Amino acid sequence: MSAPHLRALAGAALLAALPACGDAPIEYQYSPYTGEAFPDRREPVAVPPGGLGIVTDSLSDTLSLLDLGTGEKIGHVPVGRDPVGLDGPHHVTVDRTGGFAYTGLSYPIVATGGPHASHGSSIQPGYVQKLALDDFRILGQVRVDANPGEIVASDDGRRVVVSHYDLQRAIKYPGDLERSRATIALVDPEAVLPTGSADPPRILTCIAPHGMALSRPDGARAYVACYGEDVVTVVDLDKREVIDRIPVDASGGSIGDPKYGPYSAILSPDGKILALGNTVSKDVRFFDVEANAMLPDRQIDTLGAPFFPAFSADGKRLWIPTQSPDALVLWDLETDQEITRRDFTADECKWPHVVDRLDDTRMILICEGDHVVPGKVLTLDAATLATKSETVVGVYPDGIAQIPGAAVGN
């Protein structure tokens, strides 16, 4: 049989199989789907007896989870809004009362040229994400300004505050003080919903605010390290207004071209003293919270740029991580003398960024790395600064929050 005849027969068979004109169409009945459209498949996360450490991996879009008792990495979880692009989780804070974590998404522009070359350069609005501590699923998110920097929660869990280290704003409006100043945003934890939340109120603060600490326990005041203005800004969060801007040096601040560059702000355990890491002048200076004034006779000069230090439990010692040269300094605040110092090779710890106290005998140190290969987290002896353990985390680790375990008494 010829090919045309075969095609004709096939067409006739197909027509015969079709319902005739006027016949009722075939209907298919499906049972309704009763499951979740986007089921949560994350594994539950248990807090180890020694405590859980949460480390932001800025250029991996993950949070690394550490067993603080052993120093080992026990897992990691993805964060962010964009499954393809870079969200850049910068810092993280924990509301232990409510059982939530919050991280700021900074959307960094990947660049080269040294530590923090890309930080503060984004023009894309940032976000704050609220995460459940049992498996780190996303509970909600809220949009904030570009370049979210520090994110802190009050001890009572009623406030979450984020600064905006917006260098682009300062570059765009040189000489215009008000327009070059960035904001801090007040995020209401109860209003961060899965469907999105209302625009959080902002408070115009200073040029390139970054490090920040809240008064204890209610977080009624924020103390903000203002990198681009060389000042400490004190903010009344209840009234939503700036109370004062105090220069970190008696000579005054430098608008838009910092001579000191206060980048970090760490509150002492008794809530009375604020330690400021000045990355331009390479020193740590101190602010008296009760007097609302800098302490003019107390200053620690460092060889490298100091980043996020940590106080001892009694407030008598200070651990200071520095970059270029990379080191960790242990300082006696009573005698005003260096107790010991450890210099790091690039293989040991490149670009130390944050040091935090685990207990009276151990410290934890975040090492950024070169922002290309994964960074490290070191557990150190608090007195000798010797390494007790190390673990590899994601690319550009930048912040840490702790959740105490049953065996942790700190």
Query: What digits encode the pLDDT tens for the residues 335-356?
Result: 999 999 999 999 999 999 999 9
E-strand stretches of 248-373: 262-267, 273-278, 283-288, 293-301, 305-306, 310-311, 317-323, 327-332, 337-343, 352-357, 362-367
**Angle at 49 (CA atoms; ends 43, 55), nearest 5 degrees:** 60
Strand order across the 62-67 sheet? 72-78, 62-67, 52-57, 397-403
* CB neighbours of residue 384 within 10 Å: 11
DSSP 7-40: HHHHHHHHHHHSPPTTPPPP----PPP-S-SS--
pLDDT for the residue numbered 254? 75
Name the token pair of 222: 């924020």
pLDDT for the residue numbered 218? 85
Name the token pair of 70: 């052993």
pLDDT for the residue numbered 235? 98
Place of tokens 């052993």: 70
DSSP 167-235: HHHHHHSTT-HHHH-EEEEEE-GGG--TT--PPPPEEEEESSEEEEEE-TTT--EEEEEETTTTEEEEE
What is the C-alpha to C-alpha distance for residues 132 and 300, in angstroms, rounded to an integer? 39
Name the token pair of 31: 């049972």
pLDDT for the residue numbered 222? 98
**Residues of the chain with confidence (pLDDT) below 50:** 2-19, 112-115, 117, 408-410
Alpha carbon dihedral 15, 18, 22, 27, in 10-degree steps, equals -170
Side-chain-side CA neighbours of 2 within 13 Å: the count stands at 3
In Å, what is the CA distance from 178 to each residue of 175, 201, 205? 9, 17, 9
pLDDT for the residue numbered 110? 61
Is residue 401 within 8 A of residue 409, CB to CB? The reply is no
Identify the bridge partners of residue 392 per DSSP, sorted by sequence position: 376
